[in-house]
Amino acid sequence: MPVHRSRRFSGFPQQQFRERYEGYASEIEKAGQKPCLQAVDVALDREGQGRDAVARLVDSGTAFDSLFLACDAMALGALEELNARGIKVPRDCSVIGFDGIRAGQHSNPPLTSIEPDFDVAGVMLVRTVLGEDQASERRVPVRVLHRGSVKRG
């Protein structure tokens, strides 16, 4: 039985965020669930987008028990709003971000994140700038940084 039943994704229509949503949606569908996209207010900064997305989600009365946000800054804002509303992370809602920023280890609770391999990304960037890499499709390997914001079990 899955730990989470009502997963939500919140993001922004940038290319990398769209790809992150597509990955989320693919895995959710494999689990037999319907992907849910929570829109963000593009006029806000990333942390504000996370806070606002959670506020609108909670105010709508929509049930959710996990959030995957397109970047860590949005996830940190979401954590702030969940904490302010008395929603306990990860007991009531798991939160995961993407980027692996170091500030996530200091949030309350520490933010679980998907971290790209920065060494590989750097090599790919330099090769592209030098014209040595003409690949049309580039994917940087990632890993999960298990911290404290995701319910396990």
Mean pLDDT of 92-111: 95
Asked whether the predicted pLDDT for residue 41 surpasses 50, the reply is yes
Query: Could you tell me the pLDDT band of residue 25, with boundaries at 50, 70 and 90?
Result: confident
User: How many Å apart are CA 30 and CA 135, to the nearest integer?
Assistant: 29
Q: Are 100 and 132 in contact (CB under 8 A)?
A: no
CA dihedral (126, 74, 65, 106) in degrees, to 10, reads 80
Q: Which one has a higher pLDDT value, 119 or 56?
A: 56
* Bridge partner list, 95: 67
User: How many Å apart are CA 46 and CA 34, to the nearest integer?
Assistant: 25
Q: Worst-scoring range by mean pLDDT, 46-50, 70-74, 129-133, 137-141?
A: 137-141
Query: Could you tell me the pLDDT band of residue 137, with boundaries at 50, 70 and 90?
Result: low
Q: Are 45 and 18 in contact (CB under 8 A)?
A: no
